[in-house]
Amino acid sequence: MPPCPAGCCCARPGFLVLCESLGLRSLPRSVPLSTSSLSVARNQLCNVDHLLRPFSGLQELSLSHNLLDRFPRGLPPSLESLLLQENRITYITSGALRHLGNLTRLDLEDNRIRAIQPGALQGLNKLQVLKINSNCLRSVPERAFDGLPRLRSVDLNNNLWVCECDILYLYRWLLSGRLKMATDLVCTEPVHLAHRLLLNLSVMTICPHVLKPNERTYQLDLNPKLERNLEMLTVKPTGLNSLENKRYFGSKQETTASKDAPKSRILLEPTL
């Protein structure tokens, strides 16, 4: 068994190795390849590409609080927990996670992530916890989370959400009710929706042109502004046959009484 790397703590030699807050600019060379849990958090690591692939039994890895400007490449596929919070990562590319099908936890909190490329999270069939809060995300691509059947917890707060048409996938996904999670995402743009909660908005408020004209009369609940502008129109019922009487007033007796009333109120469907 190789000795514990200088300055590191090996609580369980060969299994748990902690090399935190040592000012490291590269990985320690003498970390046992049998290590299953490794933390090199709070150092000055800029690049660890392919350096960890030989650790074929590594299950937990913390690279948090370092200087990584992109997702590390060549990580061992055995990883189950990957902590990358407080780095400088700007994108999640489509190939970055391709071989990490055993991940159950991925933490990307407090980076500089501006975009998730389409398909970047596909294949993470075991992922249960995902944290992308406190980044620079404005939206997520269509179907971004569709291939994550075991996902139970997602943190997307404190991003720069633009509550326009491109965010509709995320909006509908959050409303699907599959997750027990905080859903208090706040809009930053456009200006008239800034500081409002995304899930307090309607589809038509977010994207006024999402519905075809012939669909709007059947989905008025999606457009609160239109609903507020519609008023109950006042008309006199005339010439109703007995079937129509029953449909609108319940019985002939009610219809007779209604003729004596000055007016009846019905909601006319608008033509848009």
Q: 126-145, pLDDT tens digit by residue?
A: 999 999 999 999 999 999 99
Neighbours of 236 (CB within 10 A): 10
**How many CA within 13 A on the CB side of residue 93?**
9
Residues 50, 55, 61, 63: is their CA dihedral positive or negative? negative
Look-up: residue for tokens 């000012």? 23
Judge contact between 196 and 163, C-beta under 8 A: yes
146: tokens are 């569709």
Going from N- to C-terminal start, the domains of the chain cover 1-160, 163-224
Residues 6+ apart with CB under 8 A from 65: 41, 42, 43, 85, 86, 87
Check residue 212 and give its pLDDT. 54
H or E element, residue 246:
helix 242-249
Per the rule left: phi > 0, alpha: psi between -120 and 50, beta: everything else, 119 is left
Check residue 253 and give its pLDDT. 42
Closest C-alpha among 272, 186, 199 to residue 229: 272
Check residue 254 and give its pLDDT. 42
**Which amino acid makes up residue 91?**
Y
Residues 242, 244, 247, 249: is their CA dihedral positive or negative? negative
Q: 199-252, pLDDT tens digit by residue?
A: 899 999 999 987 655 544 344 444 444 444 433 333 334 444 444 444 333 444
Q: 149-189, pLDDT tens digit by residue?
A: 999 889 999 999 999 999 999 999 988 866 656 568 999 99
Q: What architecture is the 1-160 domain classified under in CATH?
A: Alpha-Beta Horseshoe (3.80)
